[in-house]
Structure 1
Amino acid sequence: MTPVNTDASSDATTEVVDILLYSDDVTTREQVQRAVGRRAAKDLPKIRWTEVATHGAVVREAEQGGYALLILDGESAKAGGMAVSKQLKNELYQCPPVLVLTARPQDAWLAASCQADAVVQVPLDPIEIQRVVAGFLRAQEA
């Protein structure tokens, strides 16, 4: 798995995977992190979350690279995750997978047209979002 890092804060070598989480709503960011947890599954590395709240910040962070997954809030007020997904997929060489959060199941087609790799509906179902995140992380291990 390419985007796994070594966490120097512990005595033993611990694998860590980086996930970028974009939403202009702090409550949404907290809900995602709470739903996914410190690990998406027991057999996967710990997650190091990077939270951003603006369009510019998510683009800057994504351009720096090293993320296993980008989780974008499709309901953000200013620059929605769907538009950001399309931008990043068109502008970044080897853009990481993108998971977009939507409020309505009917928006899945729009997220797909914005090149999102997956969609999860809010309010979040912790089991569903863990399954989706774990699937992306396992696919990168293969």
Structure 2
Amino acid sequence: MGSTAAESQKKKQIAIYSDDSSVRASIVLALGNRIADDLPEHEIHEFATGAALRQYIDRKSQDGTFKIDLFILDGEAAPEGGLGVARQLKDEVFNCPPVLAITGRKEDAWLAAWSKAEASVIHPIDPFTLARTVADLLRTGSLTSA
């Protein structure tokens, strides 16, 4: 049988922002439908522009259906980098969910901290590191280790 509306409400909601469709695809592939046995399935919302992500948040906030459990933002996105988008979300979204930033280099971790992201991983994306980090963030709302 198909899932009911109540069941689909229980799914974790993950928003991915990257202008690069191959980055979005690698994130979706790494996360699959469920990243850990102790977590429910998740639903992924993909955005190619910061403007589209903000429109989605604004629209869902206005109609009262805004429910994102995690943002995954590509710091290398252009023309608007995910780190700037992360900072804006943290400054403007009430009770902003956790943010996972994807940076270009390990040395860019300070930029992820500036953006107020709870965690960061580096390009190229290692699917196991990404899945473990996402699972930690969904469980606790913060990073336990990376």
Fold conserved (TM > 0.5)? yes
Q: Aligned letter for 1:48?
A: E
Q: Structure 2 CA distance, aligned partners of 1:62 and 1:69? A: 13
Q: For 1:108 and 1:73, locate their aligned partners in 2 and report how far apart those are by CA, in whole Å.
A: 13
What SS does the aligned partner of 1:20 have? strand
Give the aligned length: 133
The residue number in structure 1 matching 2:89 is 88
Structure 2 residue runs of 5 or longer lacking an equivalent are 61-65, 142-146
| Compared CA separation, residues 9 and 100, structure 1 to 2 (3 A) | same
Match of 2:35 among 37, 40, 43: 40
SS in 2 for 1:32: helix
> For the residues of structure 1 that align with 2:99 and 2:3, how far apart are their CA atoms?
30
Output the CA distance in 1 between the equivalents of 2:116 and 2:103: 14
Counterparts of 1:49 and 1:107, CA distance in 2: 26
3-state SS in 1 of match to 2:56: helix
Task: Kindly provide the CA deviation profile for residues 4-62 of structure 1, in whole angstroms up to 9, marking residues without a partner as x.
Answer: xxxx9326946411100001111000000111211111221111000011111111223
The aligned residue for residue 73 of structure 2 is: 72
1:1-142 equivalences under 5 Å are 9-10=2-3, 13=7, 15-63=10-58, 64=60, 65-139=66-140
Give per-residue Cα distances to partners, 1:108-137, cap 9 Å, x unaligned.
101101111110111111111111111111
Structure 1: which 5+ runs fail to align? 1-7
Amino acid paired to 1:96? P
Cα deviation, 1:61-110, whole Å, max 9, x if unaligned, reads 23432000000010001110000001111111111100011110011101
**Counterpart of 1:4?**
none
Q: State the AA in 2 paired with 1:10.
A: S
* CA–CA distance in structure 2, aligned partners of residues 72 and 137 of structure 1: 15
- Relative to structure 1, the CA distance from residue 56 to residue 44 in structure 2 (aligned partners, 3 Å threshold; closer, same or farther) is same
What's the Cα RMSD here?
Answer: 1.8
Q: TM-score, normalised by structure 1?
A: 0.86
Which secondary structure state, in structure 2, belongs to the residue aligned with residue 116 of structure 1?
coil
